[in-house]
Structure 1
Amino acid sequence: MSQKLNLGDLIEIDRRGYQHWAIYVGDGYVVHLVSADGSRPNTSFSLSASTKKALVKKQRLSEVTEGNKWRVKNKHDNKYSPKSRQEIVQSALQMVGKKIDYNVVTMNFEHFANNLRYGRYECDQVIRGAGILGAVGTVLAATAAFGFGVMRSLGRQ
């Protein structure tokens, strides 16, 4: 895939079951999170199950994508003012080599990248997941209430 890349761009990488996120820092390199123990997650949830720490790494974009589709996705630029490109890159490069706490809900790949670009820990994958779980919960609650009502009315006859 060939797209014009600018310093500080958010890169979204398709992986099986989730999207991986990175920050473009120039010359074909990105900064992103990997498992501190070297394992690669199969889904967005498996990294949190296997480790509580992530390592900030600088790698060639071509290595990180592993042949998967990717895109520039500065998705919150219309909602938040991004930091300057130089500040994003400088912050990202200062993090390289550090181990940080990892949590799929509060500090994952997307939180990390969004914080570098916007100064905000935000993750649409978590928000979407919470919305789906909320909808499922609502359906289950409605089903249970309906079933209770039917059972109650049958008991009165």
Structure 2
Amino acid sequence: MFPLHLLSLLFIAAQRPQGKEKGRASVQRSEEETEGDLLFQRGDLLEVPRTLFTHFGIYLGGGYVAHLIPDILPMFSKDQGKIGQMVTNGRLILGVLVKCASVRVDSVEDFAYGSQILVNRMDKVCSRPPLGGEEVARRAEKLRGSVRYSLLWYNCEHYVMYCRYGTLVSFQTFQFCKTVRKMLLSRRVAKVTALLWASLLLYFRTVSACAVLPAITMPFIIWMAS
């Protein structure tokens, strides 16, 4: 864990300004709340492009968004002031690696992280109709707290899909798995695997059943699955 500790220190965001800046922050927060309620409705599903993926959240009203986000900082600090600050990309990526995440509530600005926000685009691709806005927001708020993160089985998209449609599904995960399958389960890979095994058998000059069997089985399985 020591290397992770060092990495986390490199990515922890600096504390926000205090003192006189608090007054300015309060005014700005009030403006964000008003603007948010003009643009979004309680229970809306929001999404923003962030790094190499799309991030999702549920709008709660008052300029705030509930979203599931990986974060390594809670593993090394109990300071709620620091933890409550905007999660930087560094903290997020390290959180993914150690599978540490939480459902938290942040301002629309922090959630967007400088990107454009898209609203309810999942309504067009999900086969299930969305639940009522109040029910969606209630589900999002009820799930607040620490969760066990999984890039494939429980990420931010699974969270919002459950809140808005009542189903745990991630289209990003589906597309990722589909791409990996195309890359690995292909006839070309089967041929390369067979050639590699044959080369190893010739190099080590072995013809035992333990060596020949996987040399035949693995290419055959990949070929049939392609």
Following superposition, the deviation at residue 95 of structure 1 comes to: 2.4
Relative to its length, the structure with more strand (as a share) is 1
Compared CA separation, residues 145 and 37, structure 1 to 2 (3 A): closer
Q: Aligned residues: percent identity?
A: 21
Provide structure 1 residue ranges, at least 5 long, that are not aligned to the other structure: 153-157
Asked if the contact 1:31/1:58 (under 8 Å) is kept, the reply is yes
- 1:130, 1:35 → 2: CA distance? 21
Number of residues of Structure 1 aligned to a counterpart in Structure 2? 146
2:163 is matched with which residue?
Answer: 116
Compared CA separation, residues 147 and 24, structure 1 to 2 (3 A): closer
Q: TM-score, normalised by structure 2?
A: 0.56
- 2:93, 2:128 → 1: CA distance? 27
1:17 is matched with which residue?
Answer: 52
1:142 is matched with which residue?
Answer: 188
Following superposition, the deviation at residue 76 of structure 1 comes to: 3.8
2:141 is matched with which residue?
Answer: 93
Compared CA separation, residues 146 and 62, structure 1 to 2 (3 A): closer
Asked if the contact 1:45/1:104 (under 8 Å) is kept, the reply is no
Asked if the contact 2:71/2:96 (under 8 Å) is kept, the reply is no
Following superposition, the deviation at residue 68 of structure 1 comes to: 1.4
Please point out which of 65, 68, 85 is paired with 1:33. Answer: 68
1:103 is matched with which residue?
Answer: 150
Asked if the contact 1:10/1:72 (under 8 Å) is kept, the reply is yes
- 1:12, 1:53 → 2: CA distance? 21
2:102 is matched with which residue?
Answer: 55
2:185 aligned counterpart, secondary structure = helix
For 1:145, give the aligned amino acid.
K
- Which runs of structure 1 show a deviation greater than 6 angstroms over 4 or more consecutive aligned residues? none
Compute the RMSD of aligned alpha carbons: 2.8
For 1:91, give the aligned amino acid.
R
Asked if the contact 2:46/2:58 (under 8 Å) is kept, the reply is yes
Q: Which has the higher contact order (CA 8 A, sep 6+)?
A: 1
Asked if 1:6 corresponds to 2:53, the answer is no
- 1:145, 1:71 → 2: CA distance? 44
Please point out which of 82, 90, 113 is paired with 1:66. Answer: 113
Relative to its length, the structure with more helix (as a share) is 2
For 1:90, give the aligned amino acid.
R
Q: Which has the larger radius of gyration?
A: 2
Compared CA separation, residues 142 and 32, structure 1 to 2 (3 A): same
